[in-house]
C-alpha cells in the first residue's frame, strides 16, 4: 500500500480533529476550555513561559481525549458486547484523560493565580 502524500496526511489528521469536535461531547467541552485559555493568555498578558505551560497541558488534554476515543471505538469494534476486559481497557484509557485533566487544572491554578491576584489588586486600588 502506498503512503499518502504529506499534504494528504495532514488533511487526514485535521479531518480527525474535526470529526472529534463534531461528534464527541467531552472533546467539545475540552475545546471550549482550550479557547477560554487562549483568550486568558491574551487578556491577562501571560508571559511566554506561562502561556506555553497552559498550551502544553491544554493540548495534552485534547490529545489524551483523542487517544481515549480511539481506544474506545476500537474496543467497540473488537468486542461489541459487554466484556469486563474491554471495560478495564476503556476505564484505564479514560483514567489517562482524567490524570491529564487534573494536571492541567493544577498548572492552571499555579499559572493563573498570580495574574488574577494582580488583576484583583489593581481593581481594588481604584
Global confidence as pTM: 0.91
Q: What is the pLDDT of residue 53?
A: 98
**Lowest mean pLDDT across 48-52, 99-103, 108-112, 115-119:** 115-119
Match domain 11-124 to its CATH number in 1.10.287.3610, 3.30.460.10, 3.40.50.2000, 1.10.287.70: 1.10.287.3610
Q: Which residue has cell 469536535?
A: 21
- How far CA 90 is from CA of 37, 59, 73, 98, 122, in Å, comes to 28, 21, 10, 12, 47
CA–CA gap between residue 62 and residue 7 (Å, rounded): 23
Task: Give the dihedral sign, CA 110/26/96/68.
Answer: negative
Q: What is the pLDDT of residue 126?
A: 61
List residues with catalytic annotation.
65
Q: What is the mean pLDDT of residues 51-76?
A: 98
| Other residues' Cβ atoms within 10 Å of the Cβ of residue 119 | 13
pLDDT at 9 over 90: yes
Annotated binding site for a divalent metal cation: 24, 72
The residue ranges of every structural domain in the chain are 11-124
Annotated binding site: 24, 65, 72, 90-91
Cβ within 8 Å of residue 59, ≥6 positions away: 34
Annotated binding site for ATP: 24, 72, 90-91
Q: What is the mean pLDDT of residues 9-21?
A: 97
pLDDT at 30 over 80: yes
CA angle, 62 then 78 then 27, to 5°: 15
Q: What is the mean pLDDT of residues 36-60?
A: 97
Amino acid at each position: 500500500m502506498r503512503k499518502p502524500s504529506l499534504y494528504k496526511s495532514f488533511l487526514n489528521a485535521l479531518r480527525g480533529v474535526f470529526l472529534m469536535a463534531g461528534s464527541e461531547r467531552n472533546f467539545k467541552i475540552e475545546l471550549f476550555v482550550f479557547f477560554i485559555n487562549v483568550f486568558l493568555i491574551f487578556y491577562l498578558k501571560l508571559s511566554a513561559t506561562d502561556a506555553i505551560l497552559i498550551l502544553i497541558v491544554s493540548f495534552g488534554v485534547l490529545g489524551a481525549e483523542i487517544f481515549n476515543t480511539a481506544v474506545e471505538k476500537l474496543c467497540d469494534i473488537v468486542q461489541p458486547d459487554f466484556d469486563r476486559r474491554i471495560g478495564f481497557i476503556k476505564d484505564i484509557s479514560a483514567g489517562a484523560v482524567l490524570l491529564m485533566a487534573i494536571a492541567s487544572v493544577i498548572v492552571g491554578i499555579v499559572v493563573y493565580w498570580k495574574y488574577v491576584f494582580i488583576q484583583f489588586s489593581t481593581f481594588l486600588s481604584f
